[in-house]
Amino acid sequence: MTTPLTRRALLRTAAAGAVLGFPLPLRAQPKTVKIGVITPVTGAMAEVGQYCRIAAQMAADEVNAGGGIKSMGGARLELLLGDSETKMEVARSEADRVIGAGAQLLTGAFHSAHVAAISSLAQQKRVPYIIDISGADAPTANVARSVREGTQKVQYVYRIFPSGLIFAKNDIRYMTEMFKEANVSPRRLVLMYSNDAFGKPQADHFINVHKATNPAFEIVDSIPYPETANDLSTEVTRARVAKPDIIAPVTRPATAIILLEELARQRVDVMGIISPGAPGLYESRQIEQLKQNIEYVMDNVPWPNFRDPQVQRLAQEFLKRSNGKAFDTSGYTYEAIKVIADVLERAHSTDPDTLVDAIKKTNYSSPLMVANGPIRFDEGGDNPNAGTAMIQILNQKPRVVWPKAVAEERFVFPRPKR
């Protein structure tokens, strides 16, 4: 006959378990894994940085709500937030600060020069750095070269974002396909670019891929301008004189406004404005200020696949947290946190070299962004499956228009005459 288990007997059993070393429920709280997230939440790039921070927190909340890192006893993700103030030296000092506060991995920065500064620090301090957003080749390429040459033993810097070469290849391919689809034949293109750590390499890749693929249009001029330019009238006059069918700008958010307003002021008559990839042609501030001057502009950028139900769900959550801002390239910051969680789950550890071994074996099979396959890392630390989509501002909203498989709307080209 079974004796009923009284409250006193239950307490005696629990006490005995504690003496014998068995874990007791609700006693030990799981430890945390600290992740440094550096973004520009003040300064010229404050808008994009703020939304990247929101996306990072969304991902961390989702991981923690799902039980944390199960292979590490339910360890929770804790974000150590830093503000680069859109200044390279501050980006590095903020990264150093969060590392000093216990960050075991890093992500963020957005600006390519800032990413490069953090990359050298992460490599020096042996803190794995998963770059969420940066198109310039330098951060991963420089570290990979030092490892190949034997000056450093381990590569701690990896990137899930497309490289400049991927941007250029996709842009020329998409333009060729869309021109064929629209049954039009633009012949003359003027490339205009911010002459900085992002714009110059991006422009160089575009020129080199153009030479290699020999599309039906030619580059009739390539016009650089300073990242901090406050007047582009001279550059736009030069572009207008070249009589282009296409203006292809690689621009920062602040100069995007100056450039498009000047193109409108000088009445530069083109079939379309199509960027090889730039962060300044879809943000809400640019759209609100430029109004019809940005309508029909296209931009070849990394973008969420809004035909995916998972993305639609996250987009609704992002709208709530961002006070109505649409989910866009900040999806890569969300993915960086999810990839970090995946790495931790497989590493069972926060030891830097153990984490690197797990990073190298990454095969993250459910990307949110338009991609060519799972997130992986090649020998140089880049994600060869990273992709882009051509978006277009239609009715004052950025919409995916190419490739067809992920398009939300049909593209408009040539743009209507005013």
| 14-18, 66-70, 93-97, 375-379: segment of lowest average pLDDT | 14-18
H or E segment at 210?
helix 199-213
pLDDT in the model for residue 47 = 87
In one-letter notation, the amino acid at residue 418 is: R
- Both tokens of 8, joined, read 């006193």
- Say how far apart CA 158 and CA 331 lie, in whole Å: 17
pLDDT in the model for residue 215 = 97
Q: How many residues does the chain have?
A: 418
Matching fold, domains 32-162+307-386 and 165-301+390-406? yes
The DSSP output letter for 193 is E
| Mean of all residue pLDDT scores within the chain | 90
Q: What torsion do the CA atoms of 90, 94, 96, 102 make, to the nearest 10 degrees?
A: 180
Share of the chain above pLDDT 70, in %: 92
Domain 165-301+390-406: which topology? Answer: Rossmann fold (3.40.50)
CB distance 90 to 84 below 8 Å:
yes
Preceding peptide of 302 cis, ω within 30°: no
CATH superfamily of 32-162+307-386: Response regulator (3.40.50.2300)
CB distance 380 to 289 below 8 Å:
no
Distance spanning both ends of the chain, measured CA to CA: 92
Sheet holding 32-39, edge to edge: 76-83, 32-39, 105-108, 129-131, 157-159
The pLDDT tens digits for 264-322 are 999 999 999 999 998 879 888 889 999 999 999 999 999 999 999 999 999 999 999 99
The pLDDT tens digits for 2-44 are 444 444 443 444 444 433 444 444 445 569 999 999 999 999 8
CB distance 313 to 409 below 8 Å:
no
- Both tokens of 315, joined, read 């987009």
Q: What is the domain partition of the chain in residue ranges?
A: 32-162+307-386, 165-301+390-406
